[in-house]
Amino acid sequence: TPPDPLLWRMVRLGVRILDLALADDSVSVLLTVAGHGSEGEWVLGSEDEPVAAELVLDPVDFCLLLAGRYDPGEVPRGLAGDERAARSVLERAARVAWL
């Protein structure tokens, strides 16, 4: 595991890339990345729609998902709301490594 400041820089970069990879018309999902002494929240997807799902990931798991090291269906997570919307974000995150 990288030092916490570096880990959180990677998380913030990953969130920016993931947000760009999601279509502007995709369903809004509140992503919370929490652990290792910090927490961040971001709304991904459409800014015009209410949040349909809330997704919580550990920062290391989030980075591993973005790197293609986790199957989107197997990454440990907390989830509330529209499971399909959250799954869409997880699947797109897993493909970021291939962009």
- What are the structural domains, with CATH classification, of the chain? 4-98 (3.30.1050.30)
Q: What is the pLDDT of residue 52?
A: 97
Locate the DSSP E strands across 9-94. Answer: 29-35, 38-44, 53-57, 78-81
Q: What is the pLDDT of residue 1?
A: 74
Q: What is the DSSP letter of 75?
A: S
For the record, the structure tokens of 66 come out as: 């973005």
Mind listing the pLDDT tens digit for each residue in 37-92? 899 999 999 888 899 999 999 999 999 999 999 999 999 999 999 999 999 999 99
Q: CA angle at residue 60 from 73 to 84, to 5 degrees? A: 25
Strand partners, 34: 39
Task: Count Cβ atoms below 10 Å from residue 13 Cβ, excluding itself.
Answer: 12
Q: CA angle at residue 13 from 40 to 23, to 5 degrees? A: 90
